[in-house]
Each structure stands twice: as structure tokens, then as C-alpha cells.
Structure 1
Amino acid sequence: MKRKIIRFLNPFMNMPMMGKLILMLVAGILPLLITSIYSYTNTKKILISQTYQSVKNMNMQISSNINKNLETYMQISSIVYTDTNLKSYLTRDYQEDYDFVTAYQYINRLMYSLLVANSSVYNISLYTHNLTIPTDGKFVHHISPDTSTIAWLADPSSYGNILYKGTSVNTKGETVFSLGRALNFNNQNYTYAYLVIDIPEYVLYSQIENESRQKDIYITDENGVIISTKNKELLSAKLEDVLGVQVFSEPDNVLQTATVNNKKVMIVYNDMINGWRTVTIVPLSSILSDAAKSSNQIAMISILCIVISILLLLLISRHFSHRLKVLNRQISMIVDNNFSYQAKITSTDEMGQLSASINIMARRLDEAINEAYKKEILRKRAELHLLQSQINPHFLYNTLAGISSLAFRGDSNEVGKFINHLSQFYKISLNQGKEYISIGEEVKITKHYVALQNMRFKDMFLFHWDVDEAVCENQTLKLMLQPFIENAVNHAIRDDDQPLNVYVRIFRNDQAIFFEVEDDGIGIHEEVLESISRHELSAGYGISNVDSRIKLSYGEEYGVSITSLLGKGTKVTIVIPLHKKL
């Protein structure tokens, strides 16, 4: 048996080296071809599955974003729907021309405030049967027999519910979609007006614009009519008529393929809360081209590995043992994080080039590690700036609301004082973009904020300050106290007739500086405290924001802690290291 094997191998053993290499290459190509075919088939299935899941997740994210926008518009409709003053003004019988002035003042104030707070809304219209209140051509309109604008809201079975209308072109030539509702608050059998909210179509398209470059994405209503897509000529057309295939015959969790315009495509859709759908059409050719490229790459890698293996077999000998030891020493140095060692190169062949490449790699690794360290520092700074920037818009929104309230009351002196405190607050807090200010300045901007709140809510708060003057020159992150003062002002009041006491203390020990904000308000429920400690978004971002900024700047051992008893009050403690003075 052994002799037979030797006799069988003799031709190969006596073959020239070049012949042996050719035979080895042929032997390597056959399994490579088989592997490539299998890999292509398997990769094709995997890519289609992965693409489907990726598109499905994208659709879900788009639908989620649109749902959030629709919820905002639903909240606007709820505000109008439940406004009893508005109902009173719209149903009142006006005998004199001047009687409706007060009504228009209220309606204009309400509508403009909703439009300002929701910049994506194009217009809000009220349609009423009451002909004694004149139409203003913008917000209030009369219902007449030929009024087709609200015909889609006249279904008695939907009274009081929110309805949606597909795209239409308004008088300015802009494409909008509409949300409507019959106003019959407290009386389902009596509709005193109809509410129509117009929203620009680009609000929907902005959610799909970035994803529409290599695929077709459509937003359709419950009847399959296109509401938004890249090609505006297709708006108001039925999607199934455009594609020439049935789209919604299968559930939204089933992978569908069809032929559209002589091209095989994947169809993926999912439903939204109001019956709308997000539909994505992906050409299979783009997916399979990736599979072909992947298969070719696998084949090329396999061939390269075979060639390298043959070369390595030819190069391994005692002649190269010493040079292999040099290479081993180079690699050992890199493993030991010693990137400064550079081997001396005595030749330019493969081994010499490999040694040179290792030298270059060691230098680049050293540079990359240093660069990564610098980038990590810059990333933390950028993250800190981002957290800092989230505070100002929230505070500014509430402050402008206070100025608006004073302005409506016509108290110009108070408005002047209010704006002065606001300007002083921002003068210090902006601080030329610097992250740190002195504790004394932090106290000043907090007192300006307190002054603003006392002007907004007179005699509702008593602030008690106990600040160690010795720490006023020490540095701190700016806007650390204000979010907690704001939380006390907004959430801690127990009784409108009894002022809330807020105690602000700042002191130090040998290693740290302590900021305490304590109130005698209603306290915080235990589950809410747990949500705050887990930095959950539902608990608000103010506390989490300050805690994250402190930990980014000073380390995990510093930050914010909260204790609270229901009916007794809440105490917030902020700890930062005892930094040197500014």
C-alpha cells in the first residue's frame, strides 16, 4: 500500500518547482470557484435580508418622526377644541359692529401664539355658521353652501375626532396637507365651528429627503394616495396606480418583491398611528451588485491568501531565520507598546520591506495613539459645549413668555426691568463662550434669574442666601444653580397662598465646594427620584444635563445628588472639586 502511494506521488515529486506551483494553483482554484458560487448565493440572501431590515428600521424611524409632528398638531387642535372662551366668542350673537372687537382680539392672540409656538404650521382657520361675526380673511371664515373647503369634515360619525386631508395647493401656490376637527366640545350634537390646520408638505418631505437619494420613498394616506415624495408631480396620485402593482395586499412585516418599470424591486412599508404609511421602493439590482462585489472580493482574498501561502513556504528557510528573529523583536516591541524601536533594514527584498513597513506602522501607531488622545479631549469638550447649549434655549423660552405676559398687561416699566435682568443674565452667562466662570458670577446670574421669577410671580417665593465669600473667586462650570432654582419655582409650590422658601447655600471643605438648593415645597415622589437618578428623559433634562457636565469636566466622583420627602421639601447637593481661583 505504501509503495502504491509512493508510486502515485512520484510524478508530482519529480515535477519541476514551477509545475508544482501551477498544480497547487489549479488545486486552489477549484475549491475557490465552489466557495465563490456558494458565497455569492449566501451573500445575496444575507444582503437582501439585511437591506430589508435596514429599510424597515428606516421606515419605522421616519414614521416615528412624522407621528411626533402629528401629535404636535393634534395638541394644537385639542387646545382650540377645549377653549371655552373661543366657543363663547364664536357662538355669541353680535348686534353692533363694535361688539366683535373683543372677540377678534382674543382669537388673534390665540391663533398667533399657536403659530409662533409652532413654526411648521402654515395657517389655522376657523369656519363658523355664525354670520354675525365678520370674517377676517385669515382666521375666521363663514360656512356657506358652496364652501367645499370643509366638506371632508362634514361626516357626522367623525364629529369631534381629528381627520386628515391629503395635499392641496393653497392660494399662494404652496402644497399643504391639512388636519381638521369639528368643534363640538361639551355637546356632541352641536357643532359650532370647524377647525382646519394647514401644514406645508415639505414638513413631511424633510423626514425622507436625506434617505431618498438611492431609493424611492413615499408617504401615503390610509387610501394609498401619495401625500409626500421626491417627485412632486406624483402628489395626490394613488401609489399602486403609479407603480402598477399592489403594495398593501401583504402585511407590513412581509418582504415583498415586484417588477416596476421592468426592474425587480423590494417593497417595504409600515403603518402610522393615523393610518398613513411610509413606503420605500429599493431596486434589487443595487443590492445584488453589492453581493457580486462581495463575492469577487472573497475570491480575490482567497487567491491572495493562496499566493501568499506559497510564497511563505518558499521563503521559510534557515537563511531567513535571523531576519525572522529581527521581525519578531520588532513585533514584540509593538506588543509591549514600545513604538520607538526601529529595526535596521539591510535589504530591499520582501523581508526588508516587511521590516520597513513594521517600522512605518510603529511610527503611525504612535502618532495615531497621540492623535486619538487629543481627539478624545476635543470630543469631551464638544460634548460639554453641547450640554451647555441645551440650557439657554429652554430658559430663554420661559423668559420670553414672561416678557410677553408683561407686554400684554402694558406694564412698560416692568418690561424694562425684566429685559435688564435678562440682559445681565446673558452678559455673564455667555462669558465670551468660556465654559467656566467664578462662583461669584454664578451667584450673580442666579440672582438675576431669581429677580426675573419674582417679577413674574410676585410674593410666591422667598429666597435665602448663605454664600461663603471665600469661595466666590473659585471657578465653576457656568449655569449650575439656575436649573435647580427653576425646578423649585416650577414644581415645588405647595400652596398659592403660602410663599415657597428656597435656601441657597455655598460652602467648602478641604477638598470640594458644595452647592445646596433646598425648598420646603411639596417634595418629589420616590419613583420620580429613581427616574432622575437613571437620567431618564421623562424626568427632564435639566438635572441630567448639569450632572453630565460636571462628570465630564471633573470626573465621576463629582456631580448632583437629590433627597426629598413628600410634603416636606427637596434638597439638591452639587459637589465640584476645589479648583484654584480665577
Structure 2
Amino acid sequence: MSIGRWFKNIRFIYKLIVGYVIFAMLPMIIITGYNSQKTKNILLEESYRNMRQSMGQIGQNLDSSLEAYGTVIDILYTNQMFNGYLVKDYTNSDYWDMFSYIDNLLSSIMLVESNIAGISIYSSNTTLPSDNYYFFGEKGLDQEWLKAAVTSKGNPQVAGVITKGKKNYIAVERLLNYYHYSDVRNILLLRIDGSSFNEQMEITNSSQEIYWVNSQGKIMAASDKDTVGMGMESISEDWEDIPGEGKGAELEINGVTKVCTARKSLYGTRLIMMENQESLVEATRKVAREIITIFLISSAAMFLAIYFYSRWISGRVDKVVYAAKKLGDGQFDYLLKDMGKDEIGMIASAINTLNTEIQLLIAENYEKKLKIKSSEMNLLQEQINPHFLYNALSVISSMAMQEGGKKTMMSVRYLANFYRISLNKGKQVVSVQEEVELLQNYMKIQMLRFEDTVEISYEVDRKALAFRTIKLLLQPLVENAIHHGRKDEEQVLHIRVTAALTKDRLIFEVKDDGLGIEAEKLILLKKELKNSEEGYGLKNVDIRVKLNYGEQYGVRIDSTYGAGTCVRVEIPQVFS
């Protein structure tokens, strides 16, 4: 069973309740869900905005610090004497002047920049003495750091974290390739106190995390100090997919959804900030819970109200339905009381009025109309027989005067056959075959009178013979054709009688080639089949057909003056 059919068949009270659920509760549920999602999106966007602002401030401070150390690196990077000492061949030379110069230079720098814990040079110059304080062999540098310095082509890089004891240092390196003295390769490395960077990572929101990551994905500083020196992949394998430039992403980290955003920083580093989404949606959930609670309470109250209201409405409708069933069962004495003046009350009042009127119609009109109809039918039937009997007896009387009695005997026999079929034990309905036989007996009498001046032919569909029709349908039409169609006493009148079946009708036609009907008179006949001697038979047939079968059936007449007339009678196909 389809939903539509089920809904049509359920009781009215349940229709009201279902309608309330669909048109009231469902929109509220949708609105609640939409508001929750909208609030979540607003809070998420607000979180991104706050994160970007916080990260922007931290990034500016971080870049300022890096720029200060970058200035130190630039000074050493462009110092010609400093670079000259580093590439010099000390195989046969004294290096005390070099050491004195570089020691004074680097000491003064570290004195000014107190966060620089050490400055080292890793050199491929094998003649340069390694003191393991300032000077180290190139092989002493971490190979990943060496590779990063070389591939950066002279740009500063944050290499990684150096841990000594419980203290962390940030290593910033640069390939000293400003002067190309020889094939000697020197890498400058600043060891900076990591606590200054970690202090900049401190944030007040406990649900947020921030990481400063170098180009190799190592954590240089973070709000969580325990993660310093670790790879960022230990926090999230998808950390590289976090977009920057004001955008954000949601990542699943250890079963917890976090909103993340990133910002580029100096020397190939990135700032990454994360916030637990649970803290963002908690406010949304709280509001949603409050809305749902209010919604459920109000829905329950409204449901009870609509239930009792529906019962009241349904009860009134049930009374009207019960009254309608009583009306359908023919019990017209059941009346509805105290139904009000609204639409339901108006329907109840209409049913009461209908019951009362039906009772009056039954009491006053029904039997009366049946009697009138029966009287009309009998009267119309009786009008035909005396009319024809008068003409038939006139014929018999004339012939009896002219000859000795043979034709008189035949006329009387034909007349007897005619009345045998016509009377038909008082029945008003005969078969088409009997109706045609009735007409044939009538025409035998007429042929005795008119002899060769009237010729009649029959075209009757054999399938139509078994159908039923009211009797004396064709005879008045043929009599009318003979009476009004003959042009003179000598000219032959041809009459053709047909009976045929269409889709749902039985059609009789009586067509002659006689005098025809004048145009003005034809208009009057078509308009009202005027009650006159000329139209007597046509009107009689038309009235009987309409009384028996309905107004959509009856007599149709078509005529051309001087060429003949065609009378068509349509009735329904009836077997019994």
C-alpha cells in the first residue's frame, strides 16, 4: 500500500496528528539542526580568525628575533677579513693572528647578543686548526644540516635543535659563499638559547597548541616543551597538508578532531597552530541542548493539545460521517443536533436539510410522478391505437363496399396480426424483430389501399434483431411518411426502413423520396416537434423515447423540400 493511499484511509484524528508532526515538528527539527550547524560554523570561523590573530602576533615576534640573529649572520657573511682567514692555507703559516681576530669578533657579538650561546664554523679547510670551540671540521656537522646549508645556496636556515643537559639551543646556519676564494666550504652556525623562542610559544588557551617547525619538519619550539626536537609527523602525519594564508583545515589526531592553521616564517620555518574542536562545539552543543529541551517540552505540550483538539474535531466529523451513512442507507429521519455554525456545522445543517427535503419528496412527489409517468405512457400508447384503428377501419369499410370480401378478409387478418403484436399482453417493450414484423403487418394493410403507389424496403442489421425497443416506434414514422410524403395519387413513394448498431446506440431511420418539408416548417419541427396533425406521430415517438430512455435520446428530422425526408430515432442498446 502506498503512503498516499494509507494517509487517505487513516482516521481524521490521525491525519491531524500526522500533519502536525510533518508541518510543525519536522521544520523545528530542521531549524534546530540548521542553527546548530550554523553556530558551529560561526564558532569555527571565529576560532580560525582568533588563531590567525594569535599566530600573526607570535609570528611577528618570532620574525623580529630571527631578523636580529640574521643581522649577525649577515655581518659575518659579508666580512671579508673573517672569510679570508677561514679559507687561508695554514700549512706553513701562523694562525695566532687569525684566532685573535676571530675570537675578538665573535666574543663581542655574543656579548651584545646574550641569547647567542655559541658561534661555530664548520670548514672543509683541513689546515684550519680545530679548537672544538669556534672551529670544527666539516664532518663534525650533522649531514642533514650540511645538506640543508649547501642546498640553501647562502640563505640562512634553522637547522635544528641542539640539546645540552636539560637545555635546548636553536641552531641557525648559513653557507659562507659570499666570497669565492677557493674550493673551501665553510658553514657558519649560531647556537641560540631555545628558551627565548619557547617563551614566545606560550599561549593562555589550554585547548590550543602551537609549533615552530623547520623545513625538515623538526619542532624547534612549541607550547608543549616536551615535543621540542621531535618530528612534526609524531603529532600529525598530515601536518604538511595544513594550508596557510588565512585558511584552515580539520585533522583527526589520536582520535580527536582539531582545527589547524599555519603561517610561513623566516628561514624556511612554519608556525602551526591547532585547537581541539571539542572545545569549539561544546558551546554549540550547550545551546543545541537547550533548544532541543525547550523544543521537546513545547512539542509534548502541543502534541497533547493537538491530540485533544483533534479528538474534538474528529468527533464532530464522525457525527457528520455517521449521518451521511444513515442517509446513504435510506434512513432519512436521522438529524444532527447542536453542530455549531462553522464549516462542519454548515455541512451538518445541509445534511439535515437534505434529509428533510428527501422525506418531503418521497411523501409528496415520488409516487405522484410515477403515476404521472405511467399515465403519460398509457395515454401516449392509447393515442396511437385509436388513430391507426380509425384509418384501418376506413380502409376496410371502403374495400367492403367495392368488392365481395376477399381483400376485406385479408385486411382484417393483417389487422388482427398487427394488434396481436401491438397488444403483446400489455407489455410496452418488444424486440426489434417484433417491431419490424409489426410494421410489416401494418404495411400489408396499407399496400391493399395504395397498391403500387407505395414501395417499402428494409435494411435491418441481423445483430440488431435481438435488442429491445419500445413498441410502435417505426409504424408512426412510416404512417407519417405515407400521409405527408406522397406528391400525388399516381407517383410512386419509396420508403426505406433501416436499423443499425453504433458503438452504444441502436439507430432507426425512415427515409422517403416524397414531397419533403418546407424550410420554415422544418425549423418549427426541429425546435419543438409542434403538436399538430402533421407532426402528431413524430412528437408522440419523441416523447415516449425521452420518457423511457432519457433526454439524450429521441427523434431527429432532416428534410429537403421536393426531395424527401429522413427521420432518425436513437435509443440505447438494451437486451432486456
TM-score, normalization: structure 1?
A: 0.41
Q: Give 1 or 2 for the bigger CA radius of gyration.
A: 2
